Amino acid sequence: MNLPISPIAVAALTAIWTAGALAAPELEEEDLALVYGDKSTVSIATGSPQALRRAPAVASVITAEDIAAMGAKDLDEVMETVPGVHVSHTANHYSPTYAIRGIYGGINNPQVLFLQNGIPMNTMYAGDKGIYWGGLPLENVARIEIIRGPGSALYGADAYSGVINIITKTAADTKGTEVGVRAGYFNSRDGWVQHGGQLGPVEVAAYVRVGSTDGQKEIITQDAGRLRGATLAPGPVNTGYDAIDASADFAYDRWRLRAGYKLRDNFGTGAGVSSALDPVGKQRGERITSDLSWNDPDLSRNWGAGFTGSYMHYAETLDQYFQLFPPGTRFPTGVFPNGMIGHPERYERHLTFSGYATYSGFSGHSLRFGVGHEDLNMYETATHKNYLLTAGAPSPDLAFNGGSVVDYYDRQSHILPNRRKIDYLYAQDEWNFAKDWTLTAGVRHDRYSDFGGTTNPRLALVWDATLDLTAKLLYGRAFRAPSSDEQYSTNPVTNGNPSLKPETIQTLEAAFSWQARRDTQLNLSLFRYEAQDLIRAVVNPAPAVGATSQNVGKLHGSGMEMEAVWDAGRSVRLTGSYSYQQSIDDASGKDAGYAPHHHFYVRSDWRFTSGWFTSAQINRVAERKRAAGDTRPQVPDYTTLDLTLRTSQNKNAWGFAASLRNLFDADVREPSLAPGTAIPNDLPMAPRSLWLQATYKL
């Protein structure tokens, strides 16, 4: 049952909560401000650690301590708390998409570069982190660094609207052994063990987590099946999966070796691959990673250097065929008595090599140079289905397969194997040209084997105006490389286009960081961007059929992000942010749609007695317009309230946590894609839920 609740009521409840916290006696232990880890430095902005307030980018840092305070158990929950970021979902597998500053990725999310320990995790096929992502657990995460805005001058492709770097725990972050279990709503359960220590001269960290969930079962009232004469709606979404996550980290002197494994099995189809409910389809996503690095920032006088080599194997394979449309589906070309069935499979190998050198021998300058090579290979594909696409419409292919499911690889594959090679080089100079003034200038050139070269510069002027106030003026150009699907798809409904160019974006930003008082930090950022050559599916002129990917879109947007952190006492911290953005599609002159214009977030953390912590957080998402041509009313606003209670944990002791999410059971919905005829009432998200956790440190 959904209980009505207004933002005013939620704010009032939090005010009462905070008043109780402020009335509590001060504790005789360390200040609350000291228990959040290192939030004052960031590496993602330049490749080297530096003060966050002086970094030549608009960046955020989330520590493991922050994650525990907010009660987050998955990356999506963390990203929703970052100013300028909204986590939406798509019908296909309920895959998360991170809309940064109003740039919404649609079915995929290729405008955001996802890094793990500085190494790209984006896939070839869709250009994003993979549609069978299945979340990212946080027990082994030391910190998360986020750039809002362009990052291609340092990181290359897909660092378009933002960059997310997940930094995993090392032996220094995990001292000893910890075991943990967690259980909650939707028949969700997890168990993990992690260890950090010494093996002779080698520092060792290891982590293994096993979990599963049936997923939330909110109801889709209408779906695309009704348009084809057969539907399972109303019915529940299919969001369950089984999960295994594992990693190992070995460090010796200047060397570090990492390995990781991520499996999502029996992965549900969400609201359906074709926006038609599919309770039987299951997918398997598997990712194997490894990297070897060597770094010496003090190689010799004024010189530092390092290199990294990495490998990723990524596979999207079959557990159980997708039911694209249910039994009885009708098309003008025929009837599918067993339903319209299909299933693609893809296998990728990524090899990357990079090296850098730093030089500080020139007075006032810090130089950084880098080179790299990437070999991305989608070496195998398969297309299992029981239909043939003719003139852009599916028909039962009785002549070829008698209506049974076979592999159409040699006849009508969704995509054929393809390979991409990239060489790049970059240069960066941090020039302290006057007292309290630093100019960072950088440029990177990438040469692609399929579409040629692209050059992307950035400039950042940072001024320490006073001891407590820092101002920044930033400019950057970034690009998104066309994905394999956009270039090489052989599906007649949406054809690939090998002649595609990369999408480009230019962004201008102004940012201010003010330490208003010893206990109060305020941040403000203003931005404006113009994006060109956006890749969109364009319907082919007659007599051709289907659509083809083309560089035809343009977009411009602007907005602001405000943040505040107030240590109201030794035991209370208040954190809040407000973000506003507006993105306009140049073709229609109307709102680009989907992303919220207004996003509010408030959290209060209270250590009310020794060893006990509690937090309350409010998230309000407002004013999400429809895209041009979608005549539905705008997506409803929502406000959620989460409560978390936890204990601190010492060695040879238990720690406990409980979190109640969406306390008032708000009706949270994310937009289904235009024109809205497939799922007119949008995508319902999880209702009120509870999880409980216990950990023990040895």
**What are the tens digits of pLDDT across the range 442-478?**
999 999 999 999 999 999 999 999 999 999 999 999 9
Cα–Cα distance for residue pair 506/525, rounded to 1 Å: 16
pLDDT band at 33 (very low <50, low <70, confident <90, very high): very low
pLDDT cut 90: percent of the chain above it: 76
Cα–Cα distance for residue pair 225/232, rounded to 1 Å: 7
pLDDT at position 352: 98
Higher pLDDT, 611 or 513: 513
pLDDT at position 444: 97
Helices then strands, each counted (H, E), the chain: 7, 43
Whether residue 19 is predicted with pLDDT greater than 50 in this model: the reply is: no
Q: What are phi and psi of 144, to 5 degrees?
A: -125, 125
* pLDDT digits 0-9 by tens, 93-141: 999 999 999 999 878 899 999 999 999 999 999 999 988 899 999 999 9
pLDDT at position 25: 47
Ranges 9-13, 42-46, 252-256, 527-531: which has the least confidence:
9-13
Cα–Cα distance for residue pair 247/209, rounded to 1 Å: 9
* pLDDT digits 0-9 by tens, 393-406: 788 876 566 667 88
Ranges 11-15, 468-472, 478-482: which has the least confidence:
11-15
Whether residue 441 is predicted with pLDDT greater than 50 in this model: the reply is: yes
pLDDT at position 545: 58
pLDDT at position 108: 86
Cα–Cα distance for residue pair 463/554, rounded to 1 Å: 33
pLDDT at position 95: 92
Whether residue 24 is predicted with pLDDT greater than 50 in this model: the reply is: no
Whether residue 543 is predicted with pLDDT greater than 60 in this model: the reply is: no
pLDDT at position 39: 77
Read off the pLDDT of each residue in 53-59 and give the average, rounded to a whole number: 93
How far, in Å, are 195, 347, 646 from residue 415 at the CA level? 42, 12, 49
Bridge pairing between strands 162-168 and 112-116: parallel
Ranges 138-152, 166-180, 390-404, 430-444: which has the least confidence:
390-404
Whether residue 31 is predicted with pLDDT greater than 70 in this model: the reply is: no
Contacts of 111 (CB under 8 A, 6+ apart): 100, 103, 105, 158, 160, 161, 162, 480, 503
pLDDT at position 46: 87
pLDDT band at 4 (very low <50, low <70, confident <90, very high): very low
Read off the pLDDT of each residue in 32-38 and give the average, rounded to a whole number: 58
Please name the fold of domain 7-164+192-697: Maltoporin; Chain A (2.40.170)
Give buried/exposed letters for 97-125 (b at 16+ CB in 10 A, else e): bbbbbbbbbbebbbbbbbbbbbbbbbbbb
Contacts of 200 (CB under 8 A, 6+ apart): none
CA-nearest of 58, 57, 118, 115 to 85 is 58
* 53 SS3 class: helix
Which residues are paired to 510 by β-bridges? 473, 526
pLDDT band at 495 (very low <50, low <70, confident <90, very high): confident
pLDDT at position 674: 77
Higher pLDDT, 289 or 339: 289
Whether residue 86 is predicted with pLDDT greater than 90 in this model: the reply is: yes
Whether residue 172 is predicted with pLDDT greater than 90 in this model: the reply is: yes
Ranges 315-324, 388-397, 595-604, 634-643: which has the least confidence:
388-397
The DSSP string of 398-450 is HHHHTT--EE-HHHH-SB--EEEEEEEEEEEEEEEEETTEEEEEEEEEEEETT
Whether residue 3 is predicted with pLDDT greater than 50 in this model: the reply is: no
Element (H, E) at 374: strand 365-385
pLDDT at position 547: 80
Q: What is the pTM of this model?
A: 0.94
Read off the pLDDT of each residue in 23-45 and give the average, rounded to a whole number: 61
Return the amino acid letter for 282. K
Whether residue 392 is predicted with pLDDT greater than 70 in this model: the reply is: no
* Average pLDDT, rounded, for the chain: 91
Read off the pLDDT of each residue in 229-235 and give the average, rounded to a whole number: 95
Cα–Cα distance for residue pair 455/445, rounded to 1 Å: 4
CA-nearest of 552, 553, 548, 526 to 538 is 548
pLDDT band at 211 (very low <50, low <70, confident <90, very high): very high
pLDDT at position 390: 72
pLDDT at position 417: 95
pLDDT at position 15: 46
Read off the pLDDT of each residue in 685-696 and give the average, rounded to a whole number: 97
Read off the pLDDT of each residue in 40-55 and give the average, rounded to a whole number: 89
